[in-house]
Copies of this chain bind each other. A is one copy, B any other.
Amino acid sequence: MDLNKHIAATIITIGDELLIGQTIDTNSAWIASSLNKIGITIKRRVAVGDEWDAIWQSLEDEGKLAQIILITGGLGPTSDDITKSLLCKFFGGKLVTNQGALDNVVDIFTKKLKRPLLERNVKQAEVPDNCIIIQNKRGTAPGMWFEKNNVIYVSMPGVPHEMKGMMDDYVIPELIKKFNVHPVQHRTLLTAGIGESFLAEKLTDFEANLPANIKLAYLPNYGMVRLRLTDLQSASDLSRIDEYFQLLKLKVQDFMVIDDDVSMQEVIARKLLETGRSIAVAESCTGGHISQLFTQMAGSSQYFLGSVVSYSNEMKQDALKVPEQIIQEYGAVSSQTVEAMAEGVRKLSNADLGLATSGIMGPAGGTDAKPVGFVWVGFSSKEKTASTSFQFRFDRKRNIELTAISALDFLRKNMG
């Protein structure tokens, strides 16, 4: 069974910034995930610069490979943005001012930005006369929907929230209508504390016995591995995907965090909300990363009371009330210190649970006894205090991310 027997799409992203390494392309992953959910598979993705021949060639090439071509970028108001005039020529139309798009541009400049409207912004309201225009509720550049030789080409701005708005409001609903698609069925579970190789070893027989239409994917990320079963036939009632998912859960039960496609912080947020408890965090080496994982979630103020990022020892002592003698006797990176930090932040914030981190993230600061990547994680509740240590061996950024996830997993295991 081959993914490509389904309705296939490709993504073209346009912009020099993608080829000089200035911008990380987050749009493609979001688009892929959205299309996947409605049963459309992405065959490949191509990124090209703001260059006439390269864009033209990619439109021709991808048009041979897929029924849907989603294009982002190159629609800005500056002179390096050539995508719109190229599309106009490619599909043999001519540029005309669209009243709805013009009203939108005028509205944004006069009411929201309160800035004078420039000629180059007015030009953003021009669209080829042979496309369906997709109005942009979040910015000035409209989207465009073309059809040629039974292939659909949709051009959208590269600004992520503008593109996402157009996809959700217009493109996805239109594609569902047009292709009468059924969502592909996925079942996902999250594991922690076991590597990809060892999971694969445990699952050799399971994988070998899967029917041809059900596929298992290993999706490792920050010390966790997500396992995803996909039924490529999308056959609804007749699918045996749930049966295999039950089997999979049994096989990995010792390492399973949750049988759902959610993040570690969402697992914890759910548990906190269900039990009406609150949390506060004392972060030394993670420097605010754990707080950010919580506060990025809408509604986190219901259970997340706050944190102290105690980079200096004074902050540990003054804000968290860690006794000076503990730091002097055992050091800032120690079981005793993280336990005192977790307790300190819990009491300071009047939270039910406290979590703390302290370690050496690198590149400097390591010693023989406590090398770079060595961390302590502490937990505190009214009933219980606990701590554990980890040794990571990566660069600063990755050590911080792994510490944060490992701390959250330690919290999950201890919070009951």
Contact = CB atoms under 8 A, between A and B. Distances in A.
A219 interface: yes
Given A24-B25, A47-B45, A218-B78, A296 B287 contact: yes
A395 interface: yes
Interface string A285-311: 011111110111011110011111111
A306 B305 contact: no
Contact of A25 (B25, B207, B221): B25
A23 B221 contact: yes
A292 B348 CA distance: 22
Is chain A's interface secondary structure helix, strand, loop, or mixed overall?
A: mixed
Nearest to A302: B311
A28 to B, nearest CB: 7
A21 B30 contact: yes
Interface stretch (A36-44, A82-90, A95-103): A36-44
Contact of A309 (B3, B58, B306, B397): B306
B311 A397 contact: no
A47 B294 CA distance: 32
A307 B306 contact: no
Nearest to A188: B22
Given A58-B44, A217-B20, A314-B349, A294 B301 contact: no
B314 A319 contact: no
A349 B308 CA distance: 11
A2 B201 CA distance: 50
B296 A306 contact: no
A4 to B, nearest CB: 8
Contacts of A46: 44-47
A196 B197 CA distance: 47
Interface string A48-70: 11010010001000000000000
28 contacts: A17-B219, A18-B28, A19-B32, A19-B43, A20-B32, A21-B28, A21-B30, A21-B36, A22-B219, A24-B26, A24-B29, A25-B28, A44-B48, A45-B47, A115-B195, A118-B197, A138-B394, A160-B398, A161-B395, A288-B292, A298-B396, A301-B312, A305-B315, A306-B310, A306-B312, A314-B349, A315-B349, A318-B348
